[in-house]
């Protein structure tokens, strides 16, 4: 059945370019939702819209009873001004599909078309998840609140990410699917360092929060270097520091924002604990105060070994054994809220490379010039269909 996806290639390219022009952010994606629903209507696939966001849950019931498999695509874009120069570049100023979610929607719709046309031969049910808010780590949690894994009860769940996320040197068309942890947790912390402002000529009259913040940043580096075992991958990154309004004035406060990444939940929790302890203690030592907030994002993405093996076998059917990677030295330190589905059901998250230097599609994700090699779109749809065939036997 998956071979029928080859004939969809031109249609998929056109559809992807439509979605690429209308990126929307977060949980509110009305234009994207309407376009997906129009396509589902055309295919005659029943669906329901979420009540809490712009997500969509569609259902393809097979001709015979059996298990229920879910396939997920995320739909949100990023607050980035596109600089690709493509004729189908974003029409929404300051917004861009710079992570490939436009292709995720497209590839799932391609799979849906083939599965729906051949549903009489399916021994079970396929649930299609069109999710918002992956970039904000809210979409999957909202889907779970909407009961996406029930009515009917989902037995296994699969997702896919396009691009050069794993390694930009992996050629386009290769599929990467590994057992165990394949992506890190990702969380967002905020430190508000409060001092006492004064004129720069008389620093003794105040408490300089910039000096305090500088010491906090340096102290946090010690956590990874000296407190986390070198055999356990972890990251603390400071991404933003905001302070001051004049070159000769000591401000009242400094805002620090950053992210943590970990492959194990206990390490993730330890990082969160130590950031607060260190920041507050350093601030106190310098006569300042520090307010600490941790915005917990997604847990590590952990593939079920059996489901990862099944996905790999299905991918081999489509792209051949030489184009399927089932092991690598270390998981990717990027994060994905697909983790929440895998905490509830067995499943696997895969990667489809679209890196092609000749087409300049090896540029990193979240970059204004990010693009994909569209030649692999049918492969993504076909892998989804092949997984369904294998899982539902």
Helix axes 377-392, 9-20, angle to 10 degrees: 110
Above 70 in pLDDT, residue 329? no
The pLDDT of residue 330: 66
**CB neighbourhood size of 61 (10 A):** 17
Taking phi over 0 as left and psi of -120 to 50 as alpha, with beta for the rest, 273 belongs to alpha
Phi, psi angles (nearest 5°) of residue 128: -105, 125
Mean pLDDT over 106-130 rounds to 98
Q: In the chain, what are the domains?
A: 2-184+300-392 (3.40.630.10), 185-298 (3.30.70.360)
Cβ contacts of 236 within 8 Å, gap of 6 or more: 220, 221, 223, 224, 258, 259, 260, 271, 275
pLDDT tens per residue, range 290-322? 999 999 999 999 999 999 999 999 999 999 999
What pLDDT shows up at residue 9?
98
- Measured CA to CA, the distance from residue 236 to residue 274 in angstroms comes to 11
pLDDT per residue as tens digits for the range 134-170: 999 999 999 999 999 999 999 999 999 999 988 999 9
Task: Give every CB contact of residue 26 below 8 A, 6+ residues apart in sequence.
Answer: 76, 132, 133, 135, 136, 138
Dump pLDDT digits (tens) for 169-208.
Answer: 999 999 999 999 999 999 999 999 999 999 999 999 999 9
Query: If you write DSSP's letter for every residue of 311-356 in order, what string do you get?
Result: HHHHHHHHH-GGGEE---SS-BS---TTHHHHTTS-EEEEEEE---
- Rounded Cα–Cα distance for residues 294 and 53 (Å): 24
Report whether 336 contacts 161 (CB < 8 A): yes
Biggest CA–CA distance in the chain, Å, is 81
CA distance 368 to 218: 31
pLDDT at position 331: 79
């Amino acid at each position: 059945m998956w071979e029928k996806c080859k004939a969809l290639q031109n249609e998929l390219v056109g559809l992807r370019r439509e979605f690429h022009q209308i990126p929307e952010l977060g949980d509110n994606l009305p234009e994207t939702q309407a376009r997906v629903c129009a396509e589902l209507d055309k295919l005659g696939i029943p669906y329901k819209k979420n009540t809490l966001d712009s997500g969509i849950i569609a259902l393809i019931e097979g001709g015979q009873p059996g298990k229920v498999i879910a396939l997920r695509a995320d739909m949100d874009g990023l607050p980035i001004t596109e600089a690709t120069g493509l004729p189908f570049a974003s029409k929404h100023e300051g917004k861009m599909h710079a992570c490939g979610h436009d292709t995720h929607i497209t590839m799932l719709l391609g799979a849906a078309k083939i599965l729906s046309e051949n549903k009489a031969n399916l021994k079970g049910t396929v649930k299609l998840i069109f999710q918002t808010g992956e970039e904000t780590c809210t979409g999957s949690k909202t889907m779970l609140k909407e009961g996406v894994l029930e009515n009917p009860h989902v037995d296994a769940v699969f997702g896919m990410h396009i691009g050069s996320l794993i390694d930009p040197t992996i050629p386009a068309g290769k599929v990467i699917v590994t057992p165990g942890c394949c992506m890190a947790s990702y969380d967002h912390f905020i430190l508000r360092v409060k001092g006492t402002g004064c004129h720069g000529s008389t620093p003794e009259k105040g408490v300089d929060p910039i000096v305090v913040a500088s010491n906090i940043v340096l102290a946090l580096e010690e956590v990874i270097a000296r407190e986390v075992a070198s055999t356990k991958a972890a990251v603390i990154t400071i991404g933003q520091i905001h302070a001051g309004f004049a070159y000769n004035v000591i401000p009242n406060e400094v805002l620090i924002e950053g992210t943590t990444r970990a492959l194990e939940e206990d390490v993730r929790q330890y990082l969160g604990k130590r950031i607060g302890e260190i920041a507050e203690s350093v601030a106190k030592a310098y006569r300042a105060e520090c307010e600490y907030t941790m915005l917990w994002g997604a847990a590590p993405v952990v593939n079920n070994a059996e489901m990862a093996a099944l996905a790999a076998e299905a991918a081999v059917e489509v792209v051949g054994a030489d184009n399927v990677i089932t092991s690598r030295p270390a998981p990717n330190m990027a994060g994905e809220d697909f983790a929440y589905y895998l905490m509830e059901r067995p499943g696997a998250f895969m990667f489809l490379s679209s890196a092609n230097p000749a087409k300049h599609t090896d540029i990193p994700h979240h970059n204004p010039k990010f693009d994909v090699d569209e030649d692999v779109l049918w492969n993504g749809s076909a892998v989804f269909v092949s997984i369904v065939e294998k899982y539902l036997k």
